[in-house]
Chains A and B, each alone.
Chain A
Amino acid sequence: MTSPSLGALLRPTYLHLLVLGWLTQLIFGVAYWMFPRHSAKGPHGSEWLGWTSYWLLNTGLVLRAIGEPALALGGRSGWILVIAALLQLGAGWAFVFNTWPRVKAR
């Protein structure tokens, strides 16, 4: 395999590891930490939803990092990508639902 094709093969994985695994996850973590308190009893909203978002995001990211290059190389890993897509989708909406009530005017 020549290096340009290897680069093209890994480009989507590289982009998503950085933008999703680094930037978006950093935002999720900092927002969970410093956004206004949800309530006195549960300042961070649903802790369960927070952890769900974390695990779904990272599991989905790892699966796509495996499945995307494998599919491009001709492997039969399409189902891994479907699972990765569903996990990441769940992570995003879990974060939205948990964060939304904390974004409020004083």
Chain B
Amino acid sequence: MPSLSVWCIRMALLYLGLGFTLGALMLSSPVLGFAPAVLKLRPLHAEILLVGWMAQLAFGVAYWILPRLPGNRPRGRERVAWLSLALLNAGVLAVGLGQILNAPTSVLVVGRVAEALAVFAFATHAWTRAQRSSAIR
């Protein structure tokens, strides 16, 4: 497994554990009596699990298993993939934390733009690898 995939998937696993922990706190909050404070975590819970866990896991696994290209760059433009990893995580933190800390709207916009750019960068990288089998090895 390439190191970028290791980073992506391990980050995704950390987000999974954190997201499940927040979810457990929220689910048990009606009984434990801290509902108002804990329910504010819902946007962070959703952001962490949908983007930090699922999307990032998909990035990591796709980078690992998509067909490799002929030549000296079998996984295509590696820098673009690393850029997408950095942008995705910056976006998750900006949007997730920004929502629960009542950050200015500009922080949320920057976070969403970072996530969109991450997806675009990853798609750009993966596009060349998603080809018919005659072009790959």
Contact = CB atoms under 8 A, between A and B. Distances in A.
Given A92-B17, A100-B10, A103-B6, A85 B23 contact: yes
Interface residues of A, number: 28
A89 B27 CA distance: 11
A85 B24 contact: yes
B13 A71 contact: no
Size bracket, chain B contacts? 20 to 34
Given A78-B31, A82-B31, A84-B27, A105 B6 contact: yes
Contact of B10 (A78, A84, A103): A103
A96 B19 CA distance: 12
Contacts of B17: 92-93, 96
Given A36-B1, A104-B1, A89 B21 contact: yes
A19 B49 contact: yes
A32 interface: no
Which of B14, B16, B25, B50 has most chain A Cβ within 10 Å?
A: B16
A37 to B, nearest CB: 11
A89 B54 CA distance: 17
A41 interface: no
Interface string B25-69: 101101110000000000000000110001001000000000000
Interface of B: 1-3, 5-6, 9-10, 13-14, 16-17, 19-21, 23-25, 27-28, 30-32, 49-50, 54, 57
